Amino acid sequence: MYNQKSVVAIVDDDQRLLDSLEDLLESAGHVVRAFSSARKLLESNAAHEIDCLITDIGMPGMDGFELQRLMKDKHPDLPVILITGRHELAEQMQPRHGWFFRKPFDGQALLAAIGDALTGKGTPK
């Protein structure tokens, strides 16, 4: 049986976070595409191959909400996990969005959310 690895894109303007998430996700068996801005993802050829998107909300230029909207317009079934370091935003978002993490977050919890997103379990409304 052929087991294709899932492709997870990470978009964050913090290079250290990109590097650490890339290491974590690759060690869990995912193929990772890391981007330092929403624009770089949108300008790449990777958008069509992504199985799950993890994006920071607060980035210069295009924020994570706008990226989520644009990606959902092109790929309606694409699971999107939002992350932020802004605690006031996290408190507002948590009850409304199942795939939402406040920095710093637990890597194992993120991996579990990615697994749920890829299998369609716990899909946010």
pLDDT tens-digit map of 98-116:
578 888 889 999 999 999 9
| Amino acid 122: pLDDT | 61
Reported as a pLDDT band with limits 50, 70 and 90, residue 15 is very high
What is the signed CA dihedral for 73, 79, 85, 88, rounded to 10 degrees? Answer: 70
Average pLDDT over residues 46-70: 91
**Residue 46 C-beta-side C-alpha neighbours within 13 Å:** 22
**Could you tell me whether strands 31-35 and 52-56 are parallel, antiparallel, or unpaired per DSSP bridges?**
unpaired
Q: Answer with the residue of higher pLDDT: 20 or 58.
A: 20
